[in-house]
Amino acid sequence: MTKTNSKREKDNQGDSLPVYECRPPAWVPPTHKAADVGYLGFHPPHPTEDGGALSETEVKHGYMLGVYVPMSEFAGAIEARSQKEPTSRRLFDDDAITELEALMNEIFCRRTESIPAVPASTFKIPSRVTLNDTRRQSWFADLANPDVPLHKLGKNVPHGAKGHDLLDLLQSNNVAIPRAVWFLRVFGAGLRNKPNFNPTQYSVDWTNVMTGYLRKQLGDIALPSAPRPGLNIKQTFKGVLSDSESRERWVSRFGYCLQLLRPFYAEGLVDSRTFLTWLVQQMSTCNLAQAGFVAHLADEYLDGMLASRALTKPFVDAYRHLLQINWRN
């Protein structure tokens, strides 16, 4: 075999070799699990990318990308100025920052002029009107009806019922929780016109209304006392949970109040610290039958209570003391 033939065989073998492809190390994670968008921190060169083939002028003076910003009335002036002025003057001139600030202000001003104006808000806080019992009951019936739009009811809201009576109206009409929250928001917004209105104090006052409503319902739960001679417990004890009709009515009212309390607490309509402090105090004064409902409330709002040792420790101590007393008895 001659040297020429040997060289030709080597060239043929070289043609059959695969083209080298730059791959990242095995430990480099991909950018996306499904899409092929490359690897994190790995940017290999490609023959087809900009700057892959450089001319003699680009090698000597540097490679410059094309203009990607559309040529607007001020973009052309920026490009022309950046090409004419020396780089050293643009970077080290004392007035460069000032000129750049003026340029950016002009850009934002022209951008603001091109943005369509936001129309003025047409929303008005509903006026409060005084209604008799029949018309007020009709209004709350419409509030409970999901087919009646809220913008129709938002023209005016009834004035008069407040506090526990207002919560009883919402519960007795079985108003959906989102619509009840809307009504109570609108009801509270109407108080902003009062002099010396304090939103923070209003949330505290509304928290006291909610906790007072819960305390009133928990007060209906009582433990039977010691039976008198000749009478059994059933004859002497008439608890709210002992009768099926009163139990159903109590559970409905208490459950509705808990559902209403959740969005109030999440959206800051009730003061969290005031509510959690009441929860701790309630555990220290309740009986064993009420303690189960108070513990359920504490479990639902446990995250807020655990954020403060001043609330968590007294609550645990009160619950442990209650269990110890009833265990001895």
Q: Residue 281 corresponds to which tokens in the numbers above?
A: 């105090």
The Cα 136–Cα 169 span in angstroms is 10
Would you call 261 helix, strand, or coil by DSSP?
helix
Q: Residue 3 corresponds to which tokens in the numbers above?
A: 């040297």
Report CA-CA distances (Å) from 266 to 176, 212, 236, 243, 305.
Answer: 17, 19, 43, 35, 14
Q: Residue 120 corresponds to which tokens in the numbers above?
A: 């003025």
Q: What pLDDT does 278 receive?
A: 92
User: Which of 62-66, 153-157, 186-190, 203-207 comes out lowest in average pLDDT?
Assistant: 62-66
Identify the residue with better confidence: 301 or 6.
301
Going by C-alpha positions, the residue among 255, 245, 246, 96 that lies closest to residue 177 is: 255
For residue 136, pLDDT over 60 is answered with: yes
For residue 285, pLDDT over 80 is answered with: yes
Helical pair 133-144 and 164-172, crossing angle rounded to 10 deg: 60
pLDDT single digits (tens) 109-132 = 988 888 888 888 776 777 777 778
The Cα 241–Cα 258 span in angstroms is 18
For residue 236, pLDDT over 50 is answered with: no
Q: Binning pLDDT at 50, 70 and 90, where does residue 325 land?
A: confident
Q: Mean per-residue pLDDT for 56-84?
A: 62
Radius of gyration for the alpha carbons in the chain, expressed in angstroms and rounded: 38
pLDDT single digits (tens) 196-208 = 777 778 888 888 9
Judging by beta carbons within 10 Å of its beta carbon (0-12, 13-18, 19+), is residue 279 exposed, middle or buried? buried
Whether 206 and 181 have beta carbons less than 8 Å apart is answered as no
Q: Binning pLDDT at 50, 70 and 90, where does residue 235 land?
A: very low
Residues 6+ apart with CB under 8 A from 215: 278, 282
**Strands (E) located in the chain:** 127-130, 156-159
The Cα 280–Cα 308 span in angstroms is 12
Q: What pLDDT does 292 receive?
A: 85
Report CA-CA distances (Å) from 197 to 129, 143, 166, 201.
Answer: 20, 27, 21, 8
Q: Residue 305 corresponds to which tokens in the numbers above?
A: 């209570």
Would you call 99 helix, strand, or coil by DSSP?
helix
Tell me which DSSP letter residue 32 carries: -
Would you call 29 helix, strand, or coil by DSSP?
coil
Q: Mean per-residue pLDDT for 54-76?
A: 66
